[in-house]
Amino acid sequence: MKVVVGHLYPDYLNIYADRGNMAVLARRAAWRNIEFDYRVVGFGDSLRPGEHDLLYIGGGQDREQALVAPDLAGRRAELEEAIEGGAAALAVCGGYQLLGQFYRDRSGAELPGAGIFDHYTVAGERRMIGDVLLECELGPDARGTIAGFENHAGRTTLGSNAVPFGRVVAGFGNDGESGFEGCRRGRALGTYLHGPLLPRNPWLADWLLSQSMARRLGEPPPLAPLRDEIESRAHEVASGRAFSRGGRAN
């Protein structure tokens, strides 16, 4: 079995060690004898139809987002074709914002989005920072809590067709008010959760792996279970820190 991954702009969007998410997926694939074909997609590189099983884009500060936004927005048709063709995707923080309709910073300058998710983001005056805990359900056999870390000024508003990634148990989430975090479109996920996200949420990492393989196989294959003692402990510690915040912040 094989998973082909396209990592968009890793030299620009890699705040809070977001590359670690790729390291986790590569290791969990290797433990199961799944080939992990990692490919960088940068400026000038095309997203050829049917090439990638999983697309990944990390987070960055406003300067880096401004650098990549026009190029990413210009890939809208390519991205749509990949997602509609069954590819999985994970977009974190800045990447999540840029896959929406637009991102407007505090100066009023507006960056174009790729329009993959039905949301838009406007920067607020106060940053929303800290540990986060979500309740998340991605299917009948894929539900649980997600622990991560957020640090963003953007307030993301979901559109009428948007499905949230999770519900906030503790932390701010998309806007600090709605109780929603992130966005989901089929096998594509967008979230503000850094950390990196996947080391402390192994069930989510495995969901992404199986969904990525489903593009070729037609259905998500069952994955051999792993021990995950360290990963579970990391989730427990991060969840405890989030709970110490006293519930959802407004």
8: nearest Cα among 91, 114, 109 = 91
**119 is known as an active-site residue:** no
Quote the CA–CA distance of 220 and 225 in Å, as a whole number: 15
Strands (DSSP E) along the chain, which ranges? 2-8, 35-41, 54-57, 88-92, 102-104, 110-112, 119-139, 142-158, 166-170, 180-181, 183-185, 188-191
Residue 26's CB is within 10 A of a number of other CB atoms, namely 17
Q: Which residues contact 145 (CB under 8 A, 6 or more apart)?
A: 133, 134, 135, 136, 169, 235, 239
Q: Report the DSSP beta bridge partners of residue 6.
A: 39, 55
Residue 74's CB is within 10 A of a number of other CB atoms, namely 11
**183 is known as an active-site residue:** no
Catalytic residue among 7, 52, 93, 136, which?
A: 93
Q: Is the dihedral of CA 202, 203, 207, 209 positive or negative?
A: positive
Quote the CA–CA distance of 72 and 123 in Å, as a whole number: 20
Quote the CA–CA distance of 62 and 66 in Å, as a whole number: 6
Instruction: Find out whether 160 and 142 touch, Cβ atoms under 8 Å.
Output: no
Could you tell me the CA-to-CA distances from 118 to 45, 134, 182, 206 in Å, in that order?
A: 25, 20, 11, 25
Catalytic residue among 52, 119, 194, 235, which?
A: 194
Active-site residues, by number, are 93, 194
